[in-house]
């Protein structure tokens, strides 16, 4: 079952074909046991308990199964959220307690058919954006073990990105549900405060905390949200969902980004490049960019740690930390105990400043559909964070700390990989934000962005074959994600690997005859260019049937990628160039087709 994808559509299709929940549970347990990162989990349910839950689901009548939107879906729970049968530690062993029942949000997911595997690691007491502040170890980026996973919901993000579970719960106060998503190339949904119950959640800043969702795609994250969102009268900060205006990209939209002078990347030029590319992607979707003075968001962000609002962390766990100082991670303890010096007068004064900033934010959002920011300005090695834990953590909150204070909802989505420099190969992400109760609106924009760029969700488990059962195949035309022939790959369980370019050794053509605008890639001895393409993982067993559908003059050969890798891919025989239009200057099929559509519309 190594080829089984854990996305929700893939699992639904597998169950429709007769797969059992027990089979999926066994596979998830095997993946959890084989995970090379020992710091992902704090505790796990026993295999017997996980399999018993799965067998109980399999025994249900078909009509009952059909009513369960998350039937047989494996998931993980951040260890500051209660899961019956396991202790809640908040990454502090001396704080641990055994809850009598699961958190309300967990109970809703289980009732919908989801299968919990266990509790994931976090920055202690959910205080940090780095993922290194835990006595249970520091989970690592799934792309490079030298780099941080992000926090505080570190283990939850890695469990999803590593293909162990379909989704995971995190929490988000200052960015904990978004930063780890960016560092592990997955989606992080931070709902409007109060829509997901916080009953059974260890508080960080109780008035700001949100339960968050990590998933492989926007669609998966929103599917989990739809199940989990429920007004809980036992949660004093609970709020009911409000009606949302539907999104129509065809009508055009306006989005704001920080002006160039306000953007900070701390020397990460590739992050700066990818952010500009994300802006261009939304413009291609019909968006109008508005570059704004970002100071109001910076001023709000400063209130979270530099201002008195950090005192709420002391209200949550300060007494425990005072009484158990040796048991507490030093940086976490220092942050929380320093808040004791804040006065009530300071808090009121900060509250007045925040209300003024909220007024400015409301005025801005009345004129735009959403704000887009980098999820983080850069990333760091674990060793760098350990050497300078406060400063580097603060940098990671540049574009996250303001959100809950200003009562915004947000969704973090992948936005490409760095192609050069010391961080080459590491992912980058952006976050879309809007006022509370616009959760599904920003998700719709995020889904369009996701589809337009065709980025692969998750980490290396889905990026490279771990056995001989797959072939990596490069496609340059209508087989790319979102284009008409992509179903010929997805229907064969192909998995997206990356969007990249060839080495500058090729010329590109729109072939004459046959279906309109067929692409032809030809290797040349000189005068070649780099051409955009996508690499997909195709099960070896399905490769033959795919090849049978490749018409002349196209063929499958070996392509050289910009990275130096060689993969199988589409090429064109020289005899097929009669009457062809050379389109090398466009740099890729999408750009060529966009120009054709533009001309047809004019």
Residues forming the active site: 78, 152, 176
Angle between helices 218-228 and 439-453 (to 10 degrees): 160
Distances (CA, A) of 184 to 158, 375, 566: 7, 12, 25
The two structure tokens encoding residue 183 = 């560092």
For residues 333 and 273, give the distance between their C-alpha atoms in angstroms, rounded to a whole number. Answer: 37
Contacts of 107 (CB under 8 A, 6+ apart): 101
Phi, psi of 97 (to 5 degrees): -140, 160
Angle between helices 344-365 and 295-305 (to 10 degrees): 150
For residues 11 and 219, give the distance between their C-alpha atoms in angstroms, rounded to a whole number. Answer: 14
CB 116 within 8 A of CB 41: no
Q: Which of 139, 159, 137, 166 is nearest to 150 (CA)?
A: 139
CB 516 within 8 A of CB 482: no
Query: In the sheet that 506-511 helps form, which strands lie side by side, from edge to edge?
Result: 518-523, 506-511, 581-582
Could you give the 3-state DSSP secondary structure of residue 243? Answer: coil
- Tell me the CA end-to-end span of the chain in Å, nearest whole number: 50
Distances (CA, A) of 571 to 324, 498, 509: 66, 19, 11
Query: In the sheet that 566-572 helps form, which strands lie side by side, from edge to edge?
Result: 495-501, 532-539, 470-475, 566-572, 554-560
Q: Which of 504, 499, 370 is nearest to 428 (CA)?
A: 499
């Amino acid at each position: 079952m190594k080829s089984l994808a854990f996305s929700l559509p893939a699992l639904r299709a597998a169950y429709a074909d007769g797969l059992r929940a027990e089979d999926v549970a066994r596979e998830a347990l095997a993946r959890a046991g084989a995970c090379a990162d020992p710091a992902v989990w704090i505790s796990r349910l026993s295999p017997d308990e996980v399999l018993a839950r799965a067998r109980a689901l399999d025994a249900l009548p078909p009509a009952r199964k059909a009513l369960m939107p998350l039937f047989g879906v494996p998931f993980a729970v951040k260890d500051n959220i209660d899961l019956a049968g396991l202790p809640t530690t908040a990454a502090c062993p001396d704080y641990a307690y055994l809850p009598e029942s699961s958190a309300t949000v967990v109970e809703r997911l289980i009732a919908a058919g989801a299968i919990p595997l266990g509790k994931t690691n976090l920055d202690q007491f959910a205080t940090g954006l780095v993922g290194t502040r835990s006595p249970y170890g520091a989970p690592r980026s799934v792309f490079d073990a030298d780099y941080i996973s992000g926090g505080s919901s570190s283990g939850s993000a890695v469990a999803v990105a590593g293909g162990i579970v379909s989704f995971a719960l995190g929490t988000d106060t200052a960015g904990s549900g978004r930063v780890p998503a960016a560092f592990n190339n997955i989606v992080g949904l931070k709902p409007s405060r109060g829509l997901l119950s916080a009953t059974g959640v260890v508080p960080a800043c109780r008035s700001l905390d949100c339960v968050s969702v990590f998933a492989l795609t926007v669609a998966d994250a929103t599917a989990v949200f739809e199940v989990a969102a429920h007004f809980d009268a036992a949660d004093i900060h609970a709020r009911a969902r409000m009606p949302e205006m539907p999104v129509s990209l065809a009508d055009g939209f306006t989005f704001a980004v920080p002006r160039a002078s306000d953007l900070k990347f701390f020397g990460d030029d590739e992050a700066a490049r990818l952010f500009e590319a994300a802006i261009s992607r939304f413009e291609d979707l019909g968006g109008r960019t508005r570059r704004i003075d970002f100071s109001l968001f910076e001023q709000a962000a400063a209130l979270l740690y530099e201002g008195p609002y950090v005192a709420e962390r002391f209200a949550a766990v300060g007494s425990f930390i005072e009484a158990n100082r040796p048991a507490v991670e030093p940086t976490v303890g220092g942050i929380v105990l320093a808040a004791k010096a804040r006065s009530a007068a300071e808090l009121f004064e900060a509250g007045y400043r925040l209300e003024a900033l909220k007024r400015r934010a409301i005025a801005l959002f009345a004129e735009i559909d959403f704000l887009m920011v980098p999820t983080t300005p850069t990333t760091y090695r674990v060793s760098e964070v350990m050497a300078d834990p406060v400063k580097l953590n603060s940098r990671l909150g540049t574009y996250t700390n303001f959100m809950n204070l200003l009562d915004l909802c947000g969704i973090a989505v992948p936005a490409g990989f760095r192609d050069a420099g010391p961080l080459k190969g590491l992912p980058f992400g952006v976050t879309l934000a809007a006022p509370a109760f616009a959760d599904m609106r920003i998700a719709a924009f995020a889904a369009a962005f996701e589809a337009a760029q065709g980025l692969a969700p998750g980490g290396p488990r889905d990026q490279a074959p771990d056995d001989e059962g797959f072939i990596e195949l490069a496609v340059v035309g209508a087989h790319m994600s979102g284009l008409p022939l992509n179903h010929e790959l997805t229907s064969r369980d192909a998995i997206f690997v990356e969007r990249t370019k060839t080495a500058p050794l090729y010329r590109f053509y729109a072939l004459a005859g046959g279906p309109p605008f067929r692409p032809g890639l030809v290797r040349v001895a000189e005068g070649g260019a780099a051409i955009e393409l996508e690499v997909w993982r195709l099960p070896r067993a399905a490769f033959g049937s795919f090849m049978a559908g490749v018409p002349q003059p196209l063929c499958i050969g070996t392509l050289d990628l910009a990275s130096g890798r060689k993969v199988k891919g589409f090429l064109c025989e020289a005899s097929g160039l009669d009457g062809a239009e050379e389109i090398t200057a466009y740099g890729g099929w999408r750009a060529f087709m966009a120009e054709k559509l533009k001309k047809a519309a004019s």
